[in-house]
């Protein structure tokens, strides 16, 4: 095989790296964490910030099941009627407002604060600053002021290689906790890999007969995503656990064939689960880089194009950076896709729906 450029060599090398890494991980298994609930509460008050999102909807019921008294600071009163919060206290307030967070912590003696906060528009730098940094900071400052016994920050495995805006703020928050910038506060940082909906974002497209997009060979990186139920159990295991204090805990899902995937592997899983012949939409990274650079240039003058350039960069980041962490839990990506198999998905590709704002990620399971 002849290589015309260094890039061609790199492309081949990443495929080989991913295949070797995946084989090695599948052969060794992961023994860092013991799967299973450990530790139970005795009515301790645990305030969850960002508890109305994807992970929060699994974490809050898990806290209640395990004997804690969960409290959710929700932006909408609607949360009071939602099944996930049946055993939780819901306080209506805005985590970006320091006074609201302080009042939620001060309402009763609070033992633990957990933050799952993250801006819902990761391409909006100001929103990321406001939520991923300022709102989390409100939680840290309130926890310090009220002698909270532990602050658990749910960060991101991407903080090991921060390139996207939210990751940079996650890293900043981690540094502030470690450096005790806001005062003395015992902390635990959890860095999860990807969640299942992210790797299933185009499941509906595949089910509806569209091809699956890959960069080059689709094997630039490897990931072991984690189920939200498993992550919730893992987080609760750390609550008031002395061994978790002052520790950064990277975590992903099982190191098994059904969960340790390249992005092409995730696509292949979709074809397997839906019973379709694989159909790939191959884009070269070289072409993608050119398109991203062009859009980034235009984005300097257009507020509409700037976020698009961000999404192109993010798509590349998630395709080329390994997200492999010690494993916890037994739920697999294939199991998640099996649960998606029988549902109807809106027509039109994921990209078209993103553009029209009707993008529907499967976040209810």
Residues that bind ligand NAP (CB under 6 A): 50-56, 75, 94-96, 116-120, 127, 131, 135, 154, 156-157, 166, 192, 194-195, 198
Q: How many CA atoms does the CB half-sphere of 348 hold within 13 Å?
A: 12
Do residues 217 and 325 lie in contact, with contact meaning Cβ atoms separated by under 8 Å?
no
Interatomic CA distance for residues 276 and 97, integer angstroms: 49
CA dihedral 235, 237, 239, 245 (to 10 degrees): -90
Min separation Cβ 319 and ligand NAP, Å: 14
Min separation Cβ 341 and ligand NAP, Å: 21
Interatomic CA distance for residues 279 and 51, integer angstroms: 38
| Chain position whose Cβ is nearest to ligand NAP | 53
Distances (CA, A) of 280 to 131, 180, 260: 37, 49, 20
Q: Please identify, using beta-carbon distances, which residue of 9 and 178 lies nearer to ligand NAP.
A: 178
Min separation Cβ 74 and ligand NAP, Å: 7
Interatomic CA distance for residues 279 and 50, integer angstroms: 38
Q: Please identify, using beta-carbon distances, which residue of 11 and 313 lies nearer to ligand NAP.
A: 313
- The alpha-helical segments, DSSP class H, found in the chain are 6-28, 56-65, 98-106, 125-128, 136-145, 165-178, 196-199, 203-207, 228-238, 263-274, 285-299, 305-320, 333-340, 350-356
CA 269 to chain CA mean position, Å: 20
Min separation Cβ 246 and ligand NAP, Å: 20
Min separation Cβ 160 and ligand NAP, Å: 11
Min separation Cβ 2 and ligand NAP, Å: 39
Q: Please identify, using beta-carbon distances, which residue of 120 and 300 lies nearer to ligand NAP.
A: 120
Give kind and range of the element (H or E) at residue 72. Answer: strand 69-74
């Amino acid at each position: 095989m002849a290589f015309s450029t260094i890039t061609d060599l790199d492309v081949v090398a990443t495929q080989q790296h991913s295949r070797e890494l995946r084989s090695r991980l599948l052969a060794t298994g992961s023994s860092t964490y013991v799967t299973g609930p450990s530790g139970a509460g005795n009515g301790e008050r645990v305030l969850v910030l960002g508890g109305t999102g994807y992970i929060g909807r699994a974490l809050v019921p898990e806290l209640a099941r395990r004997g804690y008294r969960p409290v959710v600071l929700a932006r909408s009163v609607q949360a009071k009627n939602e099944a996930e919060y049946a055993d939780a206290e819901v306080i209506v307030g805005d985590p970006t407002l320091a006074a609201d967070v302080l009042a939620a912590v001060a309402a009763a003696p609070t033992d633990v604060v957990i933050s799952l906060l993250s801006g819902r528009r990761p391409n909006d730098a100001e929103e990321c600053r406001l939520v991923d940094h300022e709102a989390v900071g409100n939680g840290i400052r309130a926890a310090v002021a009220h002698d909270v016994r532990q602050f658990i920050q749910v960060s991101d495995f991407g903080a090991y290689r921060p390139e996207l805006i939210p990751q940079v703020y996650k890293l900043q928050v981690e540094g502030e906790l470690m450096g005790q910038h806001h005062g003395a506060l015992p902390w635990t940082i959890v860095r999860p890999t990807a969640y299942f909906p992210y790797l299933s974002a185009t499941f509906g497209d595949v089910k509806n007969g569209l091809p699956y997009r890959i960069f080059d060979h689709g094997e630039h990186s490897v990931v072991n995503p984690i189920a939200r139920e498993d992550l919730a159990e893992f987080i609760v295991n750390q609550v008031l656990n002395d061994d978790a204090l002052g520790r950064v805990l990277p975590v992903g899902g099982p190191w098994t064939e059904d969960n340790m995937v390249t992005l092409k592997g995730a696509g292949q899983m979709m074809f397997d689960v839906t019973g379709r012949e694989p159909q790939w939409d191959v884009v070269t990274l070289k072409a993608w880089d050119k398109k991203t650079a062009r859009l980034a240039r235009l984005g300097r003058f257009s507020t509409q194009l700037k976020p698009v350039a961000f999404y192109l960069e993010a798509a590349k980041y998630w395709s080329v950076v390994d997200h492999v962490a010690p494993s916890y839990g037994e739920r697999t990506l294939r199991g998640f896709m099996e649960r998606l198999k029988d549902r109807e998905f809106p027509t039109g590709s994921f990209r078209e729906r993103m553009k029209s704002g009707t993008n529907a990620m499967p976040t209810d399971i």
